[in-house]
Amino acid sequence: MMAQPTSIAWFARHEFSLFWRDFAGMMTAGRRTRGVVLVAVLGVAALLLHLMAHGIVRPWLAAGVAPDKPTLVLLTGGGLLFWSVMLSQALESVTRAYYARADLDLILSSPASARRLFAVRTGAIALSTMLLAALLASPLVDMLALDGGPRWLAAYGVLVALAALATALGMAITLGLFALVGARRTRLIAQIVAAVIGAGFLIGIQAAAILAYGTMNRFAVLQSADLVAAMPDVSSLVWLPARAAMGDLPALAIVMALGCGALLVALAVSAASFARHALATAGMARTEVRRGQRARPFRSVSQKQALRQKEWLLLRRDPWLVSQTLMQVLYLLPPALLLWLNFGRNAGAAVVVVPVIVMAAGQLAGGLAWLALSGEDAHDLVVTAPVAPAAVTAAKIEAIMAVIAIIVAPLLLLVGLLSWQAAAITGAGVALAAASATAIQMWFRAQARRSMFRRRQVSSRAATLSEAFVSIMWAATAATLASAVPVLAVLPAILALLALLLAWVIRPK
């Protein structure tokens, strides 16, 4: 029996079709053989993750797990880490529901109910957040249930409640931004907030571990006796989610009622304003002329300078790029704090952060290189300009390297104050990782829209895997060079070069 047009079921089928098309395109790029390979790879990865989780969970359960304060603190802290990522994803998804869908004008101009559309779309966001959270947590939950009993399956119910709460809070933040700063600025600010939330709690715990114990191990804080002693008594309502995850059914019922209730309240409060805000974002593509602004004098610059300035301008004003790259930059803050605290006292701290900086630089360079080389929106204009193609490519690469240098330079300065040898090794590793990632993106470049940045790995799995592997190997090379046994750096360096050679051989001709 087919659903009636404009009904909840009809909108739900519409949303599911769009979601499945987007997911299939992102995973397989429209190729059936890639789907088969993807299923096989995901199956092997799931098996390996479950085996790793089994190795972590079994000793913990063997030591005895009871609902005491140390266990509740550990579970709650880990849950907060996980929930911060869920909230970040939900906030980004809610923002995209207003800005990134081209069918809103058509649906809102029809006799369909905007309230139903918003309810279904928000439910889809909550469902996708739940599925992603369950997928990521499934190795630990499944192994806990296998080794500790089926009561641990209640953790899936807690994930459902947390996903609903995250979606409700994401809606509240987005609507609050619409009211405070307007439709033009909400998209950019929401992306920044999503990135800060996604990395903020993790960075906060790492910062606490560095300040208290001089280590970047976040679990050192969660397992510390001082923190456990400072926490509320075991009878406190703070531990309700942790108790629910351990199989306390009354606690599970309360947690799910609170999470799902928050989502229903958020839907009821915000559904009436959905059409208004969606229409406010429809004219975002129109360029507004600012009156009263003084004209900038024309300055004659070289072709390369003009191209570099164009790339920097595009990177600076791209709102969806912010959340994709800001989180990588934020993860460099704990190493910077560790270096700052050990200034003049412990040169060994520099060795700890060397691979982190090199790896982050390689990954950031890969994303920026894709934007500059493959995500060129003015491709036809650039290729028809009286500029040599080699000059265009060189200017793009220079723009990428300048951004990496600006981000990494303060960290290199801190490393240099501790150990100039470690700073030199880090600088060389950053240069090699960034150059390798850029070269791989140049070999596998394929013209695409900048809006496809989230799914840039679809264009070539080989490029994505090569880029990640080479960055890891250069990070390992830098770490071993900075350690007491630099001779071991030969092996990861050779592997990095071989991976680069393989990427060059299999590049599209």
pLDDT tens by residue, 203-235: 666 666 555 555 555 566 666 777 777 788 888
Q: What is the mean pLDDT of residues 280-291?
A: 51
Integer Cα distance of 58 and 143 in angstroms: 8
- pTM > 0.85: no
Residue 233: Cβ-neighbour burial (10 angstroms; 0-12, 13-18, 19+): exposed
CA nearest 496: which of 452, 454, 440?
A: 440
Task: Tell me how crowded residue 46 is: count the other CB atoms within 10 A of its CB.
Answer: 14
pLDDT > 90 fraction of the chain, expressed in percent and rounded: 6
- pLDDT tens digits, 347-357: 455 566 788 78
- pLDDT tens digits, 120-166: 777 778 888 888 788 888 888 888 888 888 888 999 999 989 988 99
Integer Cα distance of 365 and 263 in angstroms: 38
Q: Provide the pLDDT for residue 492.
A: 87
Q: Provide the pLDDT for residue 253.
A: 93
Q: Provide the pLDDT for residue 379.
A: 66
- pLDDT tens digits, 315-336: 666 655 665 666 666 666 666 6
Integer Cα distance of 460 and 324 in angstroms: 19
Length of the chain, please? 509
CB contact at 8 A, 410 and 471:
no
CB contact at 8 A, 339 and 415:
yes
CA distances in angstroms from 492 to 350, 473, 478, 498, listed in the order given: 20, 5, 9, 10
One-letter amino acid of 358: V
Q: Provide the pLDDT for residue 255.
A: 92
Residue with tokens 């995901």: 42
- Quickly state the pLDDT bin for 404 (edges 50, 70, 90): confident
- Quickly state the pLDDT bin for 31 (edges 50, 70, 90): low
Q: Which residue has the higher pLDDT, 499 or 208?
A: 499
CA nearest 58: which of 126, 142, 115?
A: 142
How many Cα atoms within 13 Å fall on the side-chain side of residue 359? Answer: 17
